Chain A
Amino acid sequence: AQKITQTQPGMFVQEKEAVTLDCTYDTSDPSYGLFWYKQPSSGEMIFLIYQGSYDQQNATEGRYSLNFQKARKSANLVISASQLGDSAMYFCAMTAGGGGSNYKLTFGKGTLLTVNP
């Protein structure tokens, strides 16, 4: 079974600064995928970034990068140059294994990010 842990219920950051949101995961499967989603107050779920377990390089998408440390089983999200519109709930999630296990995302409890002007 997979497990995602997000230990920061809330984070604050000043506009234009960088922020790191923590995520650790647990799985015994060698093949897995790690995802970050953003949920603004309007409620929709927005995909941000993906990292595969066999990817050699850390994933990047614009201002988002994923700091993937396989040995530590961590997949932290780094947001550079924070903007007011980044204020939202951020979820780390994973899929793992073959067969039925892949047919779902297992989510962490989320981190509520507030960007201050």
Chain B
Amino acid sequence: QVQLVESGGGVVQPGRSLRLSCAASGFTFSSYGMHWVRQAPGKGLEWVAVIWYDGSHKYYTDSVKGRSTISRDNSKNTLYLQMNSLRAEDTAVYYCARDLSQGYSYAFDYWGQGTLVTVSS
């Protein structure tokens, strides 16, 4: 069965960096686009970034553009999100989610359980 397991969250000081990982299993990882979506405590969903199945296209929401990098290692079935210059407003549960297609569907049929990132001094 499809599984997405995020890791790498924790408490980090403002201005520092963090790398999130999402280990995928149960499907051909290299055939699907992957996204990161976050949810601040008690708030709604916010899309963060997408990477196409082959890594050829990457897009970001404005609030993380220039500070974050989405990447993938298809040989390791793993998705990453490198976040730099973290701010308090980056505090959220970060979900990885599978695109219905190679990356251009922007609908997410499987989600991980999420990993909490808390930015605080």
A and B together in one complex: no
Residues of B within 8 A of A (CB): none
